Structure 1
Amino acid sequence: MFISFRLKFFPFVATVVVVSIGIGLAQWQTRRALEKEQIASQISTLARMPAHRIAADKALSTVPVFSKVLLRGEFVAQWPLYLDNRPMQGNAGLYVLMPFHLEGSQRNVLIARGWQARNQQDRKTVPTLITPTGVVEIEGVLRDKLDRVMQLGQPDALKPGAIVQNLEVTSLAQQSGIALEPLIVEQTSDTSDGLLRHWSVPSAGAEKHRAYAFQWYALSGMACLFFVVTGIRRGKHKVSNSNDKSDTNNAATH
């Protein structure tokens, strides 16, 4: 018995395509895992450092993202906004956002104040919001952007009290006329407003990405194995068939 390999053009091309896509996706998932692991390391390091006090003459852009910050000023209470579809511990709810005017300056910072449960009877109605009055000091974590969810339909024009699915700070600044810093602060200090502040960790999910990468590598390997196995030809049957034909011819001559 002998073994040979027959290269078929179309199966070869299909295998190359599948393997290329699989390896590309696996490498992308690996990069995402590395990015999240780097973020986790950065967050862990910055969490051990003291909070940066943001004075009137200190720009937020000079502070590393994910650093702890201290802000002193007043909430712009007439401009509450709500991020929809933000569940917490299995309960439907909203993230409460509000501009914060820094004391002694003309600058404002968008604050993610916390999480609030939805009105179960009327989704368009938000529960009563308690907002501290006067000058207060809050502590939080600096973020470069808000977490996003899938956008359903076109976003409505921003107005006080609007419930939106996603929000860009630049868009809010243009539509509200409020001069906002390009960064966001997730509030962590308690201001007796009843809001929950168990913020999602942006570095979570590195293990999930590595699992996906393994699956894509495995798919590529299986495609290669399938191509090789289906291309192998065994010569035993051919030899046997040729012998049978020879015996038949010999019998005929006799």
Structure 2
Amino acid sequence: MRVAGFVFAPRLWPTLAYALLLPLLLTLGFWQMDRAEQKRTSLAERAEAFRAPVLELGAVKPTLDADEYRRVRATGEYDTEHQFYLDNRVKDDQVGYRVLTPLKLEGRDGAVLVDRGFIPIVGSRDSLPTPPPVESEDAVTGRVGRGPSVGIRLGAPSDNPGEWPRRIQYMDMDYMDEQLDYPLDDYLLIEGSLKTDTVARRDVRDAWRFGPERHDGYAFQWFALAFALTTIWVVVNTRRAPRRGKNG
């Protein structure tokens, strides 16, 4: 193709490289746009849940699918004899556990698992740390959440079955429900006790490291690379047309 004294003649290897890289860059760009939209949707759902009335767990039984992020309040008795330690958590460069304590609910049968926060490993892993004490009866407020997740579940949930506190390697609500002699709701109450001097340190940082704006920026970068790649491909395959002779 000849344009204004230049000839565009795509060569094999540059064109093959371009054909392979361009779809990849565009796919990454659209993937980041989709991630940004997912986070915007989730943020809107969180905002709507936060504006909703606080649920009293003694009167209603929320579900994770219907009530995630809802604010809840519960009164009951902590079962400190049957606590779960979620392993492999990191806070402030320290390795430790999330302390999950059942709260037997006042007003209805069953319990909710309260995420009381982070405690570091002290000394050997063979000796589990002791969490801060709680009142036998306590008022707890927080939100409905899923808790930390893992991509792949390997092996049994616990590596010290039959012992308490029970150390677990990943969240498995069905497993934890089976270990107790009373029914357990299918979510975590995240944030812990109103009595801040008796709870383990809580990590209030959101599970997301950044919001949708960062994904928009990444998408722009991928699309910019796709544009640059196209420009390079055109330049590499374009040369000045040879001059024609006077009689040509």
State TM-score, norm by structure 2.
0.79
Q: In the alignment, which residue of structure 2 is the partner of 1:173?
A: 177
Give the unaligned 5+ runs of structure 2: none
Whether the 8 Å contact between 1:75 and 1:98 is mirrored in structure 2 is: yes
TM-score by length of 1: 0.77
- 1:140 is displaced (CA, Å) by 1.0
Match of 2:20 among 17, 21, 25: 17
* Kept after mapping to 2: 8 A contact 1:110/1:169: no
Give, in whole Å, the separation in 2 of the partners of 1:178 and 1:12.
Answer: 66
Q: What residue in structure 1 maps to residue 205 of structure 2?
A: 200
- Corresponding letter in the other structure for 2:204: W
User: Relative to structure 1, is the Cα distance of residues 48 and 3 closer, same or farther in structure 2, using a 3 angstrom cutoff?
Assistant: same
C-alpha separation in 1, matches of 2:54 and 2:208: 20
Residues 112 and 187 in structure 1, CA contact (< 8 A), matched pair in contact too:
yes
Cα distance in 2 for partners of 1:152, 1:48 equals: 35
**What residue number does 1:161 align with?**
165
Task: Answer yes or no: is the 8 Å Cα contact 2:192–2:199 preserved in 1.
Answer: no
1:22–1:170: structure 2 CA closer, same or farther, 3 Å change rule? farther
**CA distance in structure 2 between the partners assigned to 1:157 and 1:94 by the alignment:** 13
Compared with structure 1, are the counterparts of its residues 34 and 73 closer, same or farther at alpha carbon in structure 2 (3 Å cutoff)? same
Identify the residue that residue 90 of structure 2 maps to in structure 1: 87
1:76 paired residue number: 79
Task: Provide closer, same or farther for how the CA distance between residues 81 and 112 of structure 1 changes in structure 2, counting only shifts above 3 A.
Answer: same
How has the CA–CA distance of structure 1 residues 176 and 231 changed in structure 2, closer, same or farther, with 3 Å as cutoff? farther
Larger radius of gyration: 1
Length, aligned pairs only:
237
> Shift of the alpha carbon at 1:186?
0.3
Q: Deviations over 1:184-239 (max 9, x none)?
A: 21034334434112333145512332232223222322222222121112224xx4
2:186 matched residue in structure 1: 182
Instruction: Show structure 1 runs of 5+ residues with no match.
Output: 244-254
Partner Cα separation in structure 2 for residue 99 and residue 130 of structure 1: 15
**In proportion to residue count, which structure has more strand?**
2
Q: Which of 122, 128, 131 is the equivalent residue of 1:126?
A: 128
**1:151/1:166 contact within 8 Å kept:** no
Task: Answer with 81-90 or 18-27: which moved more.
Answer: 81-90
Deviation above 4 Å: which 4+ runs of structure 1?
149-153, 175-178
Aligned-partner Cα distance in 1 for 2:58–2:153: 39
1:99 aligns with 2:99: no
Partner of 2:80, secondary structure, is coil
Distance 2:13 2:179 in 1: 56
Distance 1:126 1:85 in 2: 13
**1:221: which partner in 2?**
227
